[in-house]
Structure 1
């Protein structure tokens, strides 16, 4: 038994020395794709998604027709002056339950995003107006607005005011619109 153990140890040592890498003779690659992968250029066109539609490999990145993202509610009015007039004429109301609207949260959102120009009271005398950075910001008292028109303007922007659709969700925009109508009633 001892001799068998000695023979196994000596054979193991001989095999380990003979299997060491020799720079003059390269070793075999068992999975050459792992060692030498195909290098793709970043942002280059790929034939991975070829299709007869002629989209050049982009159909794997496009959402299916008619799909909407989770939690999103479509807004059917486009970004046009005529659509704003239609929203005002339709007297569009908030889809939120009036008991669900958290006016404290709506006030916080208004103070963060709107009060810098429109003022905390909605009188058009925000900090930037007082510093004369922006002129002509209207008071809510002088405007013919409703919840729908406020939501529409927040969604698309109007004149110097940009869109807040990226900063505020639809629910938050409706909450701010309800708060603006509350401010208008106090003016």
Structure 2
């Protein structure tokens, strides 16, 4: 009896497999398959600036929803004015860490977007200046120029004078990396320490200060313990 049941199961499985292979082998790639809910397969294509009565005002092209921003975009709160530039110079701070990777990436981006005018050294002697396509490009070390990290970022966002905006070519992180390299070029032209050297010195000072504070706290604790012991005696 048990053997008969097993044979029936095997037969049923075999029949099911044969049926499945038969259906697959008979499928014709040259003809469309059966469609259920064909609207899911055959959407209506609307022209970008076409007029269609299913849309408000029969206008297909719509402005983004109020308050929405593009993916990956960070709102920038400084205006494209002289006042906005001055505020950015004074207030805007670099959110990235001063690392070799960020500075190296900033140098590569600077070479792509900036060196053609400002020169590899930031002295205003880029290829376009050498070929006299643009004249009077200032050096980052020119007296009277107040160049800060925030101001450099702001100028990349909006452009300044003959320089156009680079907001569409670079993202937020890349603009800050470029700003780091600009500050390094300025420091090199003025014979000053680089960002990495300055950051390293600050880290060393902070470590020494923490060590001194810990040592002082330890001594104060020992003095307090000795004073308490003497009073007890």
Instruction: Give the alignment's TM-score, normalised by structure 1.
Output: 0.69
Distance in 1, Cα, partners of 2:47 & 2:113: 42
RMSD between aligned alpha carbons? 2.4
Q: Higher helix share goes to which structure? A: 2
Q: 1:45 to 1:76 in 2, by over 3 A?
A: same
In the alignment, which residue of structure 2 is the partner of 1:136?
136
- Give the total of aligned pairs: 144
Check if 1:73 corresponds to 2:85.
no
Once the 2 structures are TM-superposed, how far is the Cα of residue 110 of structure 1 from its aligned partner? 0.4
Runs ≥4 residues deviating over 6 A: none
In the alignment, which residue of structure 1 is the partner of 2:182?
180
In the alignment, which residue of structure 2 is the partner of 1:95?
95
Instruction: Give the alignment's TM-score, normalised by structure 2.
Output: 0.56
Q: 1:110 to 1:48 in 2, by over 3 A?
A: same
Unaligned runs of 5+ in 2: 1-43, 190-233
1:125-170 Cα offsets, whole Å, 9 max, x none, are: 1111011100111100122110010000011000000001111111
Pick from 127, 145, 148 the counterpart of residue 146 of structure 1: 148
Unaligned runs of 5+ in 1: 1-37, 51-55
Q: 1:42 to 1:82 in 2, by over 3 A?
A: closer
Contact persistence 1:101–1:175 (CA under 8 A): no
Distance in 1, Cα, partners of 2:47 & 2:68: 31
